[in-house]
Structure 1
Amino acid sequence: MKIKLLPIYLTIAVMALLQSCSKDDNNDSGKQTALTLKLVNPTDLTSVTFSDLSVSFKELNTGKVTPSSAFVNNNLSINLNEGSYEISVDGKIKYDADGTIVEASVSGYKESVVVTGGTAVVSLNLFLKTTQSDFVIEEIFFTGTKTAEGKQYQGDKYFKIHNNTDHILYADGLMIAQSEFMTVDKQDYTPNIMAQSFAASAIAIVPGTGKTYPIAPGEFFIIADDAINHKEYNPGSIDLRTATFEFYTEDADDVDNPAVPNMENLFSSMIIHNRGFKSFVIARLPVSKNTYLADYTYDYEYNLVFGGESYPMGESVYSIPNAWIVDAVNLSVQSEFKWIVTAPSLDKGWTYCGKVDADQTRYGKSVRRKVLSTTSNGKKILKDTNNSTLDFSPEAKPSLMN
């Protein structure tokens, strides 16, 4: 299904290039630009009015954040030092839906905006924030561990999925997918469907008949890479025998715990990227699996420029409509981040384990969603603003690691 056209020697060269890339140093010339930010209304909405709009401009080299809220008719004028900026907008919206006035939250995000010259104009598309009541990704342990000899240990990664509602949810049929695109490598993909769908390199589905796996409010379930006691092979690892599910591939050198149900591989096998180059979503599948596999392929092209030459590339994968997605987490590396690979309505931030590429200190760390509050019966309510930068603690101690 997936066709790679890049020659092997070029693949190796590109991997080396990715490992050596870093942000340019900021010269901070002191020059300023009069920037006009123009907000573009969410598509297909009429009679739109905004309130409580706020925007932040984060200069990517210095980390300096400049906030503002002085919008006039969807436009904001501000003087900024020349540089490369990450722009984020939040606010509230009212619009007409067939004669009914609807209130909702709205957000927008744009990365790597180069601000230079005397004046500049930037347009930013706004999206309605999703407010679905379903599972959220509580934790991703993607880095793995190291042995006492300093070798990388495989198989002890996991996902922790949390019921953030006040009612029972069923895990049956929940999809988990890893992104096709990398947050550390931005290309001009054609067609670019990111505003409508998520391009997936691997998709797995929780088994069950519909009500086989109930998860109570405030409870969670674990999807393990391999649901075994990894401490027997690496004392610094984790015992994952109590995981709820595990990823398993029959035709690969994989370990199967017969006491733990296997995830169903809908497309490709889930090989979790251990540096955080890729992102993850969970979603509900409203059509049959056969219909999905027949109707939701995604073919894209781009030109890879390397060594002064342009190489045409093409891939065929699957896409998940954004409307099906109930939660998303963008992962990246601090020194290598280029863009988020989801629509900002799903997640307009990102989190990490490792400040530089191949950071040796990332092992044994996870990203964990912050606790917003605790109910009277001791159940956690997790923070969920659709912004992983704000919602997650990076480089945290894995919750399952003693």
Structure 2
Amino acid sequence: MKIKLLPVYLTIAVMALLQSCSKEDDTYSDKQTNIALTLVNPEDLSGVSFSDLSISFKELNTGKVTQSTSFVNNKLTITLSEGSYEIAVDGKIRYAADGSTAEASVSGYNKSVVITGQTAAVSLNLFLKTTQSDFIIEEVFFTGTKTPEGKQYWGDKYFKIYNNTDKVLYADGLMIAQSEFMTTDKQAYTPNIMAQSFAASNIAIVPGKGTTYPIAPGEFFIIAEDAINHKEYNSASIDMRTAAFEFYTEDADDVDNPAVPNMENLFSSMVIHNRGFKSFVIARLPITKDAFLANNTYDYEYNLVIGGESYPMGESVYSIPNTWIIDAVNLSVQSEFQWIVTAPTLDMGWTYCGKVDADQSRYGKSVRRKVLSSASNGKKILKDTNNSTLDFSPEVKPSLMN
């Protein structure tokens, strides 16, 4: 789609005594703060009651974790030392739905809440967690590698998609999309559709007729940028010839391995951002490709401010309804993060490779989902709380390098 010149993450509500953490005072003493925490119900729910609620407060300077389950309805009082805290809540919820009662899991998260003074009031938004019944993103190797001579090498990035369920899943028709927006650049996009849809800059689809590519429980498949033996060109890279699929663009200077099926480019060609400014989702397409292209365009506008001057901008891309999305991971850079670019119901956190922009130490590192448990048959269960900050290990060695 062409750019045209023309003439957002629902933030977790935190009240009272919040400060910027960019210049945090590391001299917090043993002073105690009495905290009144209120959990805010997910939107549009009535007749709400909670059970099995648990909360953890992790002090970011010391690493000390304080846990509690002492909720009365959706309120908790607790005394903590002054400091900067990561707060995470998990539990179950009952609510009225169509004349009956429905049950679901909920979670809430705030990466940094600064607490000082004798008392503090904090509120935390809760979001419904979807039940996992399809693939999840196990790993994203987006940084690429460097040659022994220190030059940036292209083409060896990959996605690792895992069957975290107890049934056979089919990769056929699975969509993978890269975000249009960047986690390092927050703009007031109009209209803001993030609560309903994911704006995509690239979308590719696994080929197949529906049952062509079965993936057993506990198994994975790789989508490679280029499914070749990269070690022939860079000894620090990876042999990707065993990938299940590869991205390929016919009208570009791209490498094609005819032994590996190509992903179908639904919208634009997949060019994986190697600094981690963008986010990714996988989704199921419940309509035809032609119907998607006809009915899911997204035209947005915003004002680009440079040097105090405002320039009206806009673009037309495609969006994927959140109800189609089965997993998401937000990526960013520690020093540059501004917002997540998915609805928090899909992912309320983010992960990274690189602590500063263009971090030279990021090469040869990936983000990998944590293992929650392992079954007696060797099948591992991966952590999936819809919070990439908690679910993923940042800056780790890519699994295909092991």
Q: How high is the TM-score relative to the length of structure 2? A: 0.85
Partner of 2:302: 302
In the alignment, structure 1 residue 170 sits paired with structure 2 residue 167: no
Check the 8 A contact 2:144/2:154 in 1, yes or no. yes
Partner of 1:222: 222
In the alignment, structure 1 residue 387 sits paired with structure 2 residue 401: no
In the alignment, structure 1 residue 210 sits paired with structure 2 residue 210: yes
Q: Distance in 2 between matches of 1:146 and 1:238?
A: 11
- 2:169 is matched by which residue type in structure 1? L
Distance apart, 1:333 and its partner CA: 1.4
Do the aligned partners of residues 183 and 401 (structure 1) sit closer, same or farther apart at CA in structure 2, a change above 3 Å counting? same
Do the aligned partners of residues 63 and 292 (structure 1) sit closer, same or farther apart at CA in structure 2, a change above 3 Å counting? farther
- 1:26 is matched by which residue type in structure 2? E
- 1:162 is matched by which residue type in structure 2? Y
Partner of 2:10: none
- 1:172 is matched by which residue type in structure 2? D
Q: Distance in 2 between matches of 1:58 and 1:188?
A: 32
Partner of 1:25: 23
Do the aligned partners of residues 76 and 308 (structure 1) sit closer, same or farther apart at CA in structure 2, a change above 3 Å counting? farther
Partner of 1:139: 139
Partner of 1:199: 199
Partner of 1:158: 158
| Structure 2 counterpart SS, 1:46 | coil
Query: Over residues 321-371 of structure 1, what are the superposed CA-to-partner deviations in whole Å (9 max), with x where a residue is unaligned?
Result: 111111111111122222222222222222111122111111111111122
Partner of 1:367: 367
| Structure 2 counterpart SS, 1:361 | helix
| Structure 2 counterpart SS, 1:199 | strand
Partner of 2:320: 320
Q: Distance in 2 between matches of 1:361 and 1:195?
A: 35
Do the aligned partners of residues 116 and 310 (structure 1) sit closer, same or farther apart at CA in structure 2, a change above 3 Å counting? farther
Partner of 2:234: 234
Partner of 2:279: 279
Do the aligned partners of residues 375 and 243 (structure 1) sit closer, same or farther apart at CA in structure 2, a change above 3 Å counting? same
Partner of 2:45: 45
Check the 8 A contact 2:49/2:73 in 1, yes or no. no
Do the aligned partners of residues 62 and 358 (structure 1) sit closer, same or farther apart at CA in structure 2, a change above 3 Å counting? farther
Q: CA RMSD in A?
A: 3.0
Q: Distance in 1 between matches of 2:202 and 2:122?
A: 35
Partner of 2:101: 101
Q: Distance in 2 between matches of 1:62 and 1:356?
A: 22
Q: Distance in 1 between matches of 2:37 and 2:2?
A: 40
Distance apart, 1:59 and its partner CA: 7.7
Do the aligned partners of residues 76 and 341 (structure 1) sit closer, same or farther apart at CA in structure 2, a change above 3 Å counting? farther
Distance apart, 1:23 and its partner CA: 7.1
- 2:398 is matched by which residue type in structure 1? P
Check the 8 A contact 1:350/1:389 in 2, yes or no. yes
Do the aligned partners of residues 226 and 125 (structure 1) sit closer, same or farther apart at CA in structure 2, a change above 3 Å counting? same
Partner of 2:9: none
Q: Distance in 2 between matches of 1:158 and 1:281?
A: 14
Check the 8 A contact 1:175/1:204 in 2, yes or no. yes
Report the identity percentage: 82
Partner of 1:13: none
Q: Distance in 2 between matches of 1:146 and 1:54?
A: 44
Distance apart, 1:221 and its partner CA: 0.8
Check the 8 A contact 1:28/1:82 in 2, yes or no. no
Do the aligned partners of residues 318 and 352 (structure 1) sit closer, same or farther apart at CA in structure 2, a change above 3 Å counting? same
Check the 8 A contact 1:107/1:345 in 2, yes or no. no
Check the 8 A contact 1:26/1:61 in 2, yes or no. no
Q: Distance in 2 between matches of 1:375 and 1:75?
A: 36
Distance apart, 1:101 and its partner CA: 2.1
Do the aligned partners of residues 251 and 32 (structure 1) sit closer, same or farther apart at CA in structure 2, a change above 3 Å counting? farther
Query: Over residues 198-225 of structure 1, what are the superposed CA-to-partner deviations in whole Å (9 max), with x where a residue is unaligned?
Result: 1111110000010111111111111000
Check the 8 A contact 1:23/1:61 in 2, yes or no. no
- 1:269 is matched by which residue type in structure 2? S
| Structure 1 counterpart SS, 2:312 | strand
Do the aligned partners of residues 376 and 66 (structure 1) sit closer, same or farther apart at CA in structure 2, a change above 3 Å counting? closer
Do the aligned partners of residues 90 and 110 (structure 1) sit closer, same or farther apart at CA in structure 2, a change above 3 Å counting? same
Q: Distance in 1 between matches of 2:304 and 2:111?
A: 21
Distance apart, 1:90 and its partner CA: 2.6
- 2:223 is matched by which residue type in structure 1? I
Number of equivalent positions: 387
Q: How high is the TM-score relative to the length of structure 1? A: 0.85
- 1:25 is matched by which residue type in structure 2? K
Q: Distance in 1 between matches of 2:373 and 2:61?
A: 34
- 2:234 is matched by which residue type in structure 1? N
Do the aligned partners of residues 23 and 275 (structure 1) sit closer, same or farther apart at CA in structure 2, a change above 3 Å counting? farther
Do the aligned partners of residues 368 and 100 (structure 1) sit closer, same or farther apart at CA in structure 2, a change above 3 Å counting? same
| Structure 1 counterpart SS, 2:361 | coil
- Unmatched tracts of structure 1, length 5 or more: 7-21
Q: Distance in 2 between matches of 1:387 and 1:341?
A: 13
Range with greater deviation from structure 2 (247-256 or 118-127): 118-127
Do the aligned partners of residues 365 and 106 (structure 1) sit closer, same or farther apart at CA in structure 2, a change above 3 Å counting? same
Check the 8 A contact 2:50/2:73 in 1, yes or no. no
Range with greater deviation from structure 2 (245-254 or 95-104): 95-104
Alignment of 1:77-88 (within 5 A): 88=88
Distance apart, 1:190 and its partner CA: 2.1
Do the aligned partners of residues 385 and 314 (structure 1) sit closer, same or farther apart at CA in structure 2, a change above 3 Å counting? same
Do the aligned partners of residues 88 and 309 (structure 1) sit closer, same or farther apart at CA in structure 2, a change above 3 Å counting? farther
